[in-house]
Amino acid sequence: MSTTSFAKYDSIVSIIKVVSENVSKSSGIQRISFWNYFPDRIECVNLFELKDYKHSNHLVIKKKDYPIYFESIEKEQIIIASDVNLQKETSEFIDNYFLENNIKSLLDYPVFIDGKLSGIICFETTHSKRYWDNEDINFTRSVSEIITLGFETIKRKQIEDNLIYKSDLLTAVTKISEKILVSKDTFKDFDEILATLGDATKADRVYYFEAVEENRTISQKFEWVKGQIEPQIENPDLQNVPYEMFLDIVIPLKSSKVYNKLVKNMFESEFKELMKSQDILSVLIFPIQVKNKLVGAIGFDDCTNERVWSEDEINILQSLMNNISSAIERGLNESLIYSSEERFRLLADNIPGTIYLSKYDSKFTKIYLNDEIQKLSGYSKDVFLNNEISYLDIIHPDDRERVIKDQKYALENNQKIHFIYRIIHKDERIVWVEEFGDVITKTTK
């Protein structure tokens, strides 16, 4: 038994079950159990009964009901009771636990993890009394050491698994961040993004809700679910939901706070009932804010266990939420710029005169021209925008130096432009031009 590799087991319960079965069969002891120790109680992790060959774990023994027994185990003593009816340390169990389970003899041995009392390994006989000798005590000590080794193995494995998990989560967050920061449409790949997050976090459901401040409503827009978890994307109860119904989450989200709770600990509300109707046991929701305004939320549901999210997990995911907020803000800004440009083009294209934007360089290079330039000069706007010719080149030679000098002076002194000069039309005729303009500065240039 001592050479058994525990690395293949996922939990200490699995190890204790294997140890209990092997010890019971080899020793003939009818009942073997392991109990977790807490200052106010002990809880049965696993009880193996040889007669029925079954495992159970429903027992809890409270300190207030058995103070003599707890005083003994807290002194880190081995309790040796060949006859449970004659031992002071076990006297409190005579009329209930021992009677109900036909216990004749008991041997309890403390288990220490990192130098602290962590649990108790308990041997109990039911057919007849067993007079425990040194060999039995040494055997119990060996079992205690094996269980301690199991705890240490599981702890080490959990640390290793957690490091792998955090590495995978960081990798997923990095890949998603790279994708959204270069994408022109943040929501284009959101289904894929939520699937990546779901796989990386091992959540049961991941979703995005859009918040509309003007209407004070939220609506689910995207969702990913694991395996047999029931999707909610078509649930009408999650569309155009008034803030008032979800105040439990809206209030902290509007304050830029993460909502992280077990459903059983929520206040009684419509929101809690909705969570329970979807079999949700725990929920983690991040606000998505743009310019200090709530525009949405990304949430993670667990329907199979009451998950307690670690601080590291929340911090890693928060960095992604910040990037998503930035990407959405960038998209909104680009949309506003595009809309502004379209309005400018619409205006410029309908003015009966030439409209232009120029760089401030030696050629006053044109970066925008409307179609009226062709009526004015005979040249299409493309020849100027492609730098095939410069607008300065068609200014009459007698006026060119004056126009350049006056334009430079106006630009350098942030003054409005008003010139009258001549240009040479493509058909070589002289055209008089009256030009009005203004200076555009950016970062003081």
CA angle, 244 then 250 then 256, to 5°: 155
Give the CA count within 13 Å in the CB-facing half-sphere of 204.
Answer: 18
- Whether the full predicted model's pTM is greater than 0.85, yes or no, is no
> Which of 282, 313, 312 shows the shortest CA–CA distance to 300?
282
According to the model, what pLDDT value does residue 325 have? 85
Both tokens of residue 381? Answer: 């706007």
According to the model, what pLDDT value does residue 82 have? 95
Looking at CATH, the fold of the domain delimited by 356-437 is given as Beta-Lactamase (3.30.450)
Q: Report the C-alpha gap between 226 and 289 in whole angstroms.
A: 27
> Which of 430, 355, 360 shows the shortest CA–CA distance to 394?
430
Both tokens of residue 145? Answer: 């050491």
Residues 6+ apart with CB under 8 A from 342: none
Of the CATH numbers 3.40.50.1100, 3.50.30.40, 3.30.450.40, 1.10.10.60, which one belongs to the domain with range 183-335? Answer: 3.30.450.40
Q: Where are the beta strands (DSSP E) in 39-95?
A: 41-49, 54-56, 60-62, 79-81
Query: What is the three-class DSSP state of 132?
Result: coil
**Residue 93: strand pairing partners:** none
Class of domain 12-153: alpha beta
Query: What is the three-class DSSP state of 64?
Result: helix
> What are the residue ranges of CATH 3.30.450.40 in the chain?
12-153, 183-335
According to the model, what pLDDT value does residue 3 have? 47
Q: What is the pLDDT along the chain (445 residues), one digit of tens a residue?
A: 554 577 778 788 889 999 999 999 999 999 999 999 999 999 999 999 999 999 998 899 999 999 999 999 888 789 999 999 999 999 999 999 999 999 999 999 999 888 889 999 999 999 899 999 999 999 999 998 898 888 888 888 888 888 888 888 999 888 888 888 777 777 888 899 999 999 999 999 999 999 998 889 999 999 999 988 999 998 888 899 899 888 888 899 999 999 999 999 988 888 888 889 899 999 999 999 888 889 999 999 999 999 999 999 999 999 999 888 888 777 666 665 555 556 666 665 667 788 888 888 888 888 888 888 888 899 998 988 898 999 899 999 999 999 889 888 888 888 888 889 999 999 999 999 888 888 777 665 6
Both tokens of residue 84? Answer: 């449970």
Q: Report the C-alpha gap between 301 and 281 in whole angstroms.
A: 8
Both tokens of residue 386? Answer: 């492609």
According to the model, what pLDDT value does residue 4 have? 58
Q: Where are the beta strands (DSSP E) in 326-382?
A: 356-358, 366-369
According to the model, what pLDDT value does residue 342 have? 62
Q: Report the C-alpha gap between 153 and 10 in whole angstroms.
A: 10
Q: Report the C-alpha gap between 247 and 364 in whole angstroms.
A: 57
> Which of 38, 60, 45 shows the shortest CA–CA distance to 15?
45
- Pairing state of beta strands 356-358 and 41-49? unpaired
According to the model, what pLDDT value does residue 445 have? 61
Question: Residue 356, Cα to own-chain centre: how many angstroms?
Answer: 49
DSSP H or E run through 85 = none
Q: Report the C-alpha gap between 299 and 154 in whole angstroms.
A: 30
> What are the residue ranges of CATH 3.30.450.20 in the chain?
356-437
